[in-house]
């Protein structure tokens, strides 16, 4: 017998962020996005300008945009 759970599958979204050029930039963006409710993982890559976000539910793009701007960068859209 297997147990069923009502836990939804995690949601993965990839965003494009301009202005990241180093590990410090990646860390700043990751810290700000990690503070959003439901976010379980953030991976920022300066070389590609991509930020991969895993969350319990889909995030509002405006919330992600605000977090990226708080870090000093610009969200240019979804990858």
> How do the domains of the chain map onto residue ranges?
11-78
Report which of 9, 45, 8, 6 is spatially closest to residue 27, judged by C-alpha positions: 45
Model confidence at 2, in pLDDT bands (50, 70, 90)?
Answer: low
Across the range 11-34, mean pLDDT stands at 98
Residue 52: strand, helix, or coil: strand
Averaged pLDDT of the chain: 94
Q: How far apart are CA 58 and CA 13, in angstroms?
A: 8
Across the range 18-42, mean pLDDT stands at 98
Per-residue pLDDT of 31-66, as tens digits, reads 999 999 999 999 999 999 999 999 999 999 999 999
Q: How far apart are CA 66 and CA 79, in angstroms?
A: 18
pLDDT reported for residue 8: 79
User: Measured on CA atoms in the order 29, 57, 65, 54, is the torsion positive or negative?
Assistant: positive
Domain 11-78 has CATH 3.30.565.10: no
């Amino acid at each position: 017998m297997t147990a069923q759970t009502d836990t939804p599958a995690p949601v993965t979204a990839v965003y494009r962020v301009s202005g990241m050029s180093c590990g410090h930039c990646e860390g700043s963006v990751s810290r700000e996005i990690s503070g959003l409710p439901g976010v379980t993982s953030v991976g920022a890559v300066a070389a590609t300008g991509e930020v991969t976000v895993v969350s319990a539910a889909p995030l509002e793009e405006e919330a992600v945009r605000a977090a990226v701007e708080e870090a000093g960068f610009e969200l240019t859209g979804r990858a």
